[in-house]
Structure 1
Amino acid sequence: MSTTAVRPRPAAAPRPERRPKWTSWLSPTVAVYLALVLVLVAGSVVVGARGGVLLDQGGILNILTRATALGLVAIGQTMVILAGKLDLSVAYLIGLCSLVAAETMAGDPARIVPAVLLTLAVAAGVGLVNGLIVTRLKVNAFIATLGMALVIRGYLENGYTGPAGDVPRAFQHLGYDRIGPVPVSTLLMLGLAALAWWYLTRGRGGYHLYAVGGDEDVARLSGIRTGRVVVTAHVLCSLAAGLAGLFLASRLGSGAPYVGVDAGYDLESIAAVVLGGTLLAGGRGGVVGTIGGVLILATLDTIFDDIGLNSFVKDVVRGVVLIVAVALYARRRMRRAA
């Protein structure tokens, strides 16, 4: 007597988790600006409860002034992070560039243009060295730029004990002039952000930058000169730090060796980039989200000053905000992958 084997039915594939349709447009860039609105609303309530006003003309000016220097550094940091690298030398480079500018100007308006060109040349040179160490010597970018930071730090500690140089009044207009409540320097920073956005989204260099950050080996096999792309990213980052040094020199009226370190622009710029939705591994993100992250950090600092919060609590809150933001981005990416 013959028997017929009965094949078991294959188990049904689990249905994908249904998500609300409205979440499809909630990209990291949109999310960071929604978070900015929430921070502004909550900050206005908290400051108002203390008898102050967050978004009056003075408050807006404080937020935008804080955002300008950090924004300049963060735009450059976005470039190297998109390439899958980091730059920890920017804080000391800012102080060095402020000194080069102030000492070259020496209070003479006729020397403003040579001072600016020399400052940017010094910044580009530092970025070029960083990039070559990473690409030619195959040193990890974290170690390479940290080593460069220590070299600059040694020079500053050996050569300076305090502020030096003299910025002419004509150049100080860059740091203090404004159109209504908006500083001119902020408009220049936003102009640089627009230029960086165009480079990343419309230029061939931006396409190569995303490709290298996504997978450097695949980019190399595709014919992209990955070394050149990484060097260019480091040079652009250092140039942005040089611009921040020029801006801070115009605000201070002289060069200050530790103006970048005291403000923590190395780690703050990385925090702003990550808060804006750019992956630390590289290959995804953009400068639009970075500006949103910069504005969030600048707004938080202004709120903390208005309510008289001590520095320890400030750092704790900033750290919590950064951790929560990165955790939410990671969870979103995991859901999409699933």
Structure 2
Amino acid sequence: MTRVLTASRALSSRLGTTGLVYLALAGVLLVSAVFVAARGASLLTAANTVDLFTRSSLLGFLAIGMTLVILCRSLDLSVGYVAALSTVVAGLTMAGDPSRILLGVGATLGLAALIGLANGLVITRLRVNPFIATLGTGLVIKGYLDTQFQGPAGSIPAAFQTFGLSRIGVFPVSTLVMLVLAVLAVLYLRRTRTGFHMYAVGGDSEVARLSGVRPELPVITAHVLCSVMAGVAGLLLASRFGTGNTLVYNNGYELEAIAAVVLGGTYLLGGRGGVAGTVAGVFILATLDTVFNTLGIDPFVKDVLRGTIVIAAVALYARSQISRTAVRVRFPSGGAPPPAAGPPDPPPSPEPLAQGGKR
């Protein structure tokens, strides 16, 4: 047993958190394929592969933005409402006219950025807890949508619907766009000063401030980018529905995004993790959904199983973090500690003065 634990810790230190998440993804795919095959079906058919990638794209957009926010030790519960509002803005602005596609995309992303800016300013300047601030923003958007729109709004031109409906082989265009944005987000975190500052603020905002970092700027930037990604998700939903849909916020996208981020190895208290692991977490959840739909599992049981898997995965990750930090620093060789110290040695006697010397 001790050898197994030692080997697992060595593997964890060698692969890192992101490597372990991708190893878990491979394991989930293998176990799911075997389980579905035992039920007389096949998981790796073209239809199921397309379904898996289609599910991953929408959640991926939201989870990428949520990763940036959580790295800064913040949170955004308004992304589902922002996505719903974005479908309406896109539908009303485009109004079925292909010549208004760029205007619709710009208006949608611009409004989403303003909402993210408002969230960031409320959190950093007014010192409102991110949970309360973003939840309040989401409720304001919900109230507006419920009072102003009673059904579908606007129309999406057929040329823009290709964003959500077309694919290249088994890869939907939306999934390819999501992967491109994920790569850009990884480069942003690893190659830019603001990306480094997001990790610093998430690790310890006071230490970051003493190091010359303005903690407010990375947090505001993360919330703006998170809302923009929610706007992209809204554009994807609008392209699939062909119109604006005000009831999108009922699907609990924000909670799924948080689950994917944490499942991908990002520390919920900020400072550790990244988008690469989040993408793996997204594909794990998408794989589970595809398996459940292939086997026709009851939706209630599906939610219970997904929640159990997420809790178990996060518990294992937290346990590995504790094991990694609980290391004997003074005695790394594992040997016995030195004998207890005895009474202190007496002070040394003064050196005799040289002959003929003076004190």
Give the TM-score band, short-chain normalised: over 0.9
**Equivalent residue, structure 2, for 1:25:** 14
Structure 1 segment 36-75 matched on structure 2, within 5 A: 36-75=25-64
Whether 1:313 aligns to 2:301 is: yes
Q: CA deviation at 1:47?
A: 2.3
SS, match of residue 144 in structure 2: helix
Whether 1:241 aligns to 2:241 is: no
What TM-score do you get using the length of structure 2 for normalisation?
0.87
Whether 1:267 aligns to 2:240 is: no
Cα deviation code 1:248-303 (max 9, x no counterpart): 111111111122x2331100000000000000100000000000000011111111
Aligned residue pairs: how many?
321
Q: Distance in 2 between matches of 1:215 and 1:41?
A: 39
SS, match of residue 281 in structure 1: coil
**Equivalent residue, structure 2, for 1:5:** none
Contact 2:12 2:20 in 1 (8 A): no
**Equivalent residue, structure 2, for 1:89:** 78
Q: CA deviation at 1:18?
A: 8.1
Q: Distance in 1 between matches of 2:160 and 2:122?
A: 35
The share of aligned pairs that are identical, in percent, is 57
What stretches of structure 1 of length at least 5 have no aligned partner? Answer: 1-16
The residue identity in structure 2 corresponding to 1:238 is S
More off after superposition, 310-319 vs 25-34: 25-34
More off after superposition, 71-80 vs 157-166: 157-166
**Equivalent residue, structure 1, for 2:334:** none
**Equivalent residue, structure 2, for 1:205:** 194
Pick from 93, 107, 121: which aligns with 1:104?
93
Whether 1:183 aligns to 2:159 is: no
SS, match of residue 26 in structure 1: helix
* Closer, same or farther: CA 174–335 of 1 in aligned 2, 3 Å: same
SS, match of residue 85 in structure 1: coil
Whether 1:120 aligns to 2:109 is: yes
Cα deviation code 1:75-113 (max 9, x no counterpart): 000000000000000001100001100111111000000
Q: Distance in 2 between matches of 1:278 and 1:23?
A: 15
Q: Distance in 1 between matches of 2:277 and 2:304?
A: 23
SS, match of residue 27 in structure 1: helix
More off after superposition, 37-46 vs 197-206: 37-46
Q: CA deviation at 1:311?
A: 1.5
Q: Distance in 2 between matches of 1:128 and 1:214?
A: 22
Q: Distance in 2 between matches of 1:255 and 1:228?
A: 33
Q: CA deviation at 1:246?
A: 0.4
The residue identity in structure 2 corresponding to 1:275 is L
Q: CA deviation at 1:37?
A: 1.4
SS, match of residue 246 in structure 2: coil
The residue identity in structure 1 corresponding to 2:284 is I
Q: Distance in 2 between matches of 1:284 and 1:290?
A: 12
* Closer, same or farther: CA 166–327 of 1 in aligned 2, 3 Å: same
The residue identity in structure 1 corresponding to 2:159 is A
What stretches of structure 2 of length at least 5 have no aligned partner? Answer: 327-359
Pick from 289, 303, 323: which aligns with 2:311?
323
The residue identity in structure 2 corresponding to 1:201 is R
The residue identity in structure 2 corresponding to 1:269 is A
How well do the aligned residues superpose, as a CA RMSD in angstroms? 1.3
Whether 1:158 aligns to 2:123 is: no
Q: Distance in 1 between matches of 2:5 and 2:96?
A: 65
Whether 1:289 aligns to 2:281 is: no
**Equivalent residue, structure 2, for 1:10:** none
Pick from 66, 85, 91: which aligns with 1:77?
66
**Equivalent residue, structure 2, for 1:4:** none
Q: CA deviation at 1:178?
A: 1.2
Cα deviation code 1:289-333 (max 9, x no counterpart): 000000011111111111111111111111111111111111111
Cα deviation code 1:45-73 (max 9, x no counterpart): 23223332211111110000000010000
Q: Distance in 2 between matches of 1:326 and 1:173?
A: 37
Flag as ranges the 4+ runs of structure 1 deviating above 4 A: none
The residue identity in structure 2 corresponding to 1:294 is V
